[in-house]
Structure 1
Amino acid sequence: MRDRGPMIGFFLALTTAVFWGALPIAMKQAVEVMDPFTIVWYRFITASVGLGLLLGWKKQLPSVSNIGRVGGLILLVASLGLAGNFVLFNRSLQYLNPPVVQVIIQLAPVGLLVTSAWVFKEKLAKHQIIGVSCLLGGLLLFFNERLIELFTSFSGYTLGVSLAVAAAVVWVVYGLAQKWLLRQFTSAQILLMIYVICALILTPMAQPEQIFAMDDRQLAMLMFCCINTLVGYGAFAEAMSRWQASQVSAVITLTPLFTILFVDLASLAWPQYVAAVTLNIWGYLGAMVVVSGAICCAIGHKFIRQHK
């Protein structure tokens, strides 16, 4: 029987892209009455319990007794990075539409690529340099209508963009730390430890009672955000174990396009809650170039090899 691993890996990666694409739309609804710290706290609590039960059932719970001082410090840095990413991502949604945030966050995987080359002494290939250039050029096209506002004033829009960029930057810190921790633990074990630490870090700032101020729609969106953490990251980790990392990354970069699609559909179904995407033709082209640049970083070497 033919190996179905790659096909399963593709569908798992696509599941991740779909869930992550829908995530900021749900967050936008939940953040109406619940602050970002509390939303993220609920997400980490849910993920800790769910992943902890799963790894416990598989008898794969991480053993931290031999992690050492350096490993413990790097684990803390990774936790702060992921917690910061979640909070800043949520916070940016108070000022920006979901597609805008999702396009900006594409800086994260590309930033990880560039910084990994510097930290781990990895050489950037030609296709990766082309991909980074495309991504940066695509961002300029995407923001073509508001470039002057971004660089000449400090409006709510500019603050939202700054928060989204910061979310991408701290995710790079998390990614670098996780890459180091993979020497000792599996990705699922690392995520469990990070989820637990993040939940503890955010507990003093969380206000769980805010959940009682939510209506049914907002509560459903919060529940989706919590489930999304488990399903999205779980499918991602499983896809990485069944398929090549570059192929998984290429599928994941479709996330902003799913966000734009879901926002357009949601704005038709619930116009009172979800605003339609307001982009000109250059903005849509910019989103496509951003995604193309990220894909080029992931699998561009295959095309370059075929045509050199």
Structure 2
Amino acid sequence: MINRGPMIGFFLAITTAVFWGALPIAMKQAVEVMDPFTIVWYRFITAALGLGLFLAWRKQLPTISNLGRMSWVVLVIASVGLAGNFVLYNSSLKYLNPPVVQVIIQLAPVMLLVSSAWIFKEKLGRHQIIGVIALISGLILFFNERLIELFTSFSGYTLGVSLAVAAALVWVVYGLAQKWLLRQFSSAQILLMIYIICAVILTPMAQPQQILTMDNRQLGMLLFCCVNTLVGYGAFAEAMARWQASQVSAVITLTPLFTILFVDLASLAWPQYVATVSLNIWGYLGAMVVVSGAVCCAIGHKFIRQSK
């Protein structure tokens, strides 16, 4: 009988990459009039309500009494990590355009890949090591024009890069904690608890009344961000449950390529709101190297003989 787990895991990971690829474009529009804390608060509230109703309908709500002390600690760590990632990611979009943020944030899956192999004893094959090297090299090439600016100035751009790097770091904390919690709960149950805790954490800093200042375009973008949280992270959590974290991480590294594609399409449809992506030849070469590295991590074992 064919094991469809990896196939489903790959499809879910691609779904995550597509939704996350479109996300910064929408958030860039919403952050024009709404602060990052409030945007993230709305996203968590919407996701918690949607996922909570779904689990209640299926009679699969998590049993809180099953949480031990260690599980509570890990759950809070996961929640703080995800909330921090959302806020830092949104904040970086005030200073950087979507493709640049997505390129920087790809540090997260690479770090998650290595961390998962270390903590969860998921063996890294030769193909994955080659893939990681290719991913890092590709990111450097893709980022070539910005590297000089980053290290020679202390502008808002530098602050934006710092916020994006911080967002990547705290996301790894969330990813590892979420993987640990899968021992007790389903991915959907974990996400529901995390969404609720994140919403509670951010409530004192949120200003819900800012939604009244949004026009129809910005309101639509906020709505998409909220739906994106439910679908994107739901697919990611299920992918983590069905596939190795290292392989999921490799596939979602395709996210910046989807962002570039969506930015180009959006700039054609709404040039007054979305600027085109400007890359030199090295940037495009870097994008291709990133894709090659992701493919190598995911299916390179079919072509590269592993050492015994």
TM-score, normalised with respect to structure 2: 0.91
Q: Deviations over 1:127-156 (max 9, x none)?
A: 222222212211221121122221222122
Please tell me the residue identity of whatever aligns with 1:234.
G
Following superposition, the deviation at residue 292 of structure 1 comes to 2.6
Structure 2 partner of 1:104: 104
Q: CA 1:138 to 1:116, structure 2 compared with 1: closer, same or farther past 3 Å?
A: same
Q: Which residue of 1 aligns with 2:281?
A: 281
Q: Which structure 2 segments of 5+ residues have no match?
A: none
Which deviates more from structure 2 when the two are superposed, residues 3-12 or residues 259-268?
3-12
Aligned-residue offset at 1:304: 1.0
How do 1:21-170 and structure 2 match up within 5 A? 21-170=21-170
Superposed CA deviations along residues 109-134 of structure 1, whole A, max 9, x for unmatched, are 11011122333344433222222221
Distance in 2 (CA, whole Å) between partners of 1:259 and 1:173 is 24
Amino acid at match of 2:274: V
| Residue equivalent to 1:232 | 232
CA separation of 1:270 and 1:145: change in aligned 2, threshold 3 A: same
Q: Does 1:259 pair with 2:274?
A: no
Preserved contact between residue 250 and residue 299 of structure 1 (Cα < 8 Å): no
Kept in 1: contact 2:30–2:218 (CA 8 A):
yes
Q: Deviations over 1:76-114 (max 9, x none)?
A: 000000001111111111111111111221111110111
The separation in 2 between residues aligned to 1:125 and 1:307, in whole angstroms, is 8
SS in 1 for 2:27: helix
TM-score by length of 1: 0.91
Identity of aligned residues (%): 84
How many correspondences in the alignment? 308
What is the CA RMSD across the aligned residues, in angstroms? 2.5
> Is 2:210 the counterpart of 1:219?
no
Aligned counterparts of 1:283 and 1:307: Cα–Cα separation in 2: 34
Q: 1:304, 1:64 → 2: CA distance?
A: 45
Asked if structure 1 preserves the Cα contact closer than 8 Å seen for 2:116 and 2:246, the reply is: no
Partner of 2:181: 181
3-state SS of paired residue (2:279): coil
Q: Which runs of 5+ in 1 are unaligned?
A: none
What is the CA-CA distance between 1:3 and the residue it aligns to? Answer: 8.8
Letter in structure 2 aligned against 1:58: R
Q: Distance in 2 between matches of 1:302 and 1:85?
A: 34
